[in-house]
Amino acid sequence: MVDTVNHAGLTMLSYHCHKLIPKGVSCVGVLLESHISFHTWPDEGVITLDLFTCGNNPLVPVVKTIKDLFGIPRENDTIGMQWSHELRGFRNKEKVPNRGNDNYAVLDHNSDLSLMVWSPIDCPIKEQIVSKLTKFQRVDIWDLVGLEETPSHNDALKHNLQPGDPRWHTAELVSPTRMLFLDGTLQSESSSQKEYHEALVHAGMFSHADPKRVAIVGGAEGATLREVLKHKTVDSITMIEIDEELIDISKTYMPFMSDCSDFVGRSENCFDDEILDLVTKDAKEWFIDRKANQEKFDVVIVDAMEPEASSAISKDLYDTAHLEAILNSLTDEGIMAIQIGRAPTILDPRPDIGFNAPREALFKNLEALDSVEAMFVYEDPHCGFSEPRAFMIVCKSETCRRLFYATSDEIDYEIYSRIVKTHSKIRALQYFDGITHLGYQVAPKAWETTYCRREPTPFECSYRHLDFKKPIFEFNFDSEEENPFKVTADWEGEGEDMYISNTHVFANVDIPKGSYVMPEHLASSLSLSQKSIENLKETTEYGGVSVIEDFVTFIEKFGHKSKAEGTQRTLVEIGASYLIQEVEKKEDANIGRWIPPHPEGRRPNYSPVYERHRLSFDVFAVATQDIAKGTELLKYKGMWEEP
């Protein structure tokens, strides 16, 4: 006990020990800084020790000393140790962290390092690998195994675990998770870093048709670089990382992050690849200083601390000047991908206040830039953090919307075409695929909920749900008597040459203003890609395909382009709604789109409401005025063309 106090740099004033009945011993030492105590249970081979101080010296380095001095094993036994570190007293949240103090910020009980490593006592393995202050930040790397963890698939293969082995249910054979913390904030875990970095990189890369030149902001671990190097289309990578020491630490203690040895045509270590230009400078200054005539990037990936982190080296990365400089460095079809921290929940407050305020400021900065045409948010729950991680793709052209909303088959084909082969024959992408990307295409409702808490409330938020107070008038094929609509036709010609020149739909009942008109029929509209329509037209050039020619004519007459610009999809009415007559003047119509044109004349470049409900907004129609029984339904010819 005395040696522990001395190694900790503390001062022992006095101590007292006494024997326990029937076995064991208890000791208490009074320190100048506070106290130390321990109790023993010889039969169980257990010692519990408490060390409390009011001093400035950190106690975590003393853990090894305690283990060496008190961890005396029985014969043929290994030492088991579980420990917890907590701060006493109350934190002053207004106090600015002092970088001159080795304990700055990360000792705070709110830091990831404290919550995930130091505080939990249910960890049979908790080993510090690195704790270092670089010129820019504090770096901590730990190995951790939780008491309730069980072996992974790789652990089972490594130890040849067989069915019925009791070790399936214990942490005995679990490989430690190596965790990287920067300024106390978790950055990566060995157990989930593949999922995280594949989610960050590939959704953006596959939203570009042919990415050749890529820039990476941050990413000192090398994992983002590794993922970009999986793309055969890429022939130039510029990585801007301010902390050169962190790169070296990552290479030494987390080499798996920058391991490209399995990729055909790539270097053993990702940092040694010939297409990489590594720049150890401040990213903001580097982008702002770039000349306009320098070759532009197709994709920029920002793998820095999330916006809400109070890191000194990343706080300026998300201001307007830097964002504009990044966008200026992109081609006209360029894309920026950013990791933006934890995903929101429906319980979060208005986004410009509270924890999410820095992220909302980032969004507002991007939305205000004229060069930003589209923004998509998505999240992934498998990245190793306690909450799903959120990501954003920013596009300079609306054409990226078509690629972001590509089908799973299209994404899988692009993966087959673009991704490098491996020497091991194991797929280079172990997590990301077409179905995974499909899940990214619909942002969870929390994004819409928090977006609609903005003040003033965005226009489109009033159309997130159908109004249950409004009646629905559906075309009824089964019963003419119960059908709220009546269809008539104008016939021309004679005998066998007779044909229908026009159809008319009349109201069989009174239809109040705002009522939904044939929503089931409109929702079943056929959705066709522009490529599919072009293929149909090309087929007609060979002749003898009158059915396809008629179908193309039908598409041109009853189809309309999606208002989600860039998706290149056409919605074709195939239900009874296509029987409604069109009129040239809007004021003559009594049927209109469910969501009116945006009052600003164009849709916003960021709106999870428009993105989540794009199909509903593309097809649903309502009565724009009271329609009396016997009145013909009329729709404006250009109603689907308005913003």
Q: Which residues are catalytic?
A: 303
Whole-number Å distance between alpha carbons of 331 and 610: 26
Nearest partner of 337 among 390, 382, 398, 291, judged by Cα: 390
N- to C-terminal Cα separation, the chain: 76
| Host H or E run for residue 503 | strand 499-507
DSSP designation for 419: B
Residues 6+ apart with CB under 8 A from 215: 237, 238, 239, 240, 297, 299, 300, 301, 329
Residues 6+ apart with CB under 8 A from 75: none
DSSP designation for 269: B
Contact 448, 608 (CB under 8 A): yes
Cα angle for residues 600, 602, 603 (degrees, 5° grid): 105
Nearest partner of 506 among 480, 532, 527, 484, judged by Cα: 484
- Cβ neighbour number for residue 41 with a 10 Å cutoff: 12
Tokens of 312: 């000194």
Q: How many helices (H) and strands (E) does the chain have?
A: 19, 26
Strand-pair category, 297-303 with 213-218:
parallel
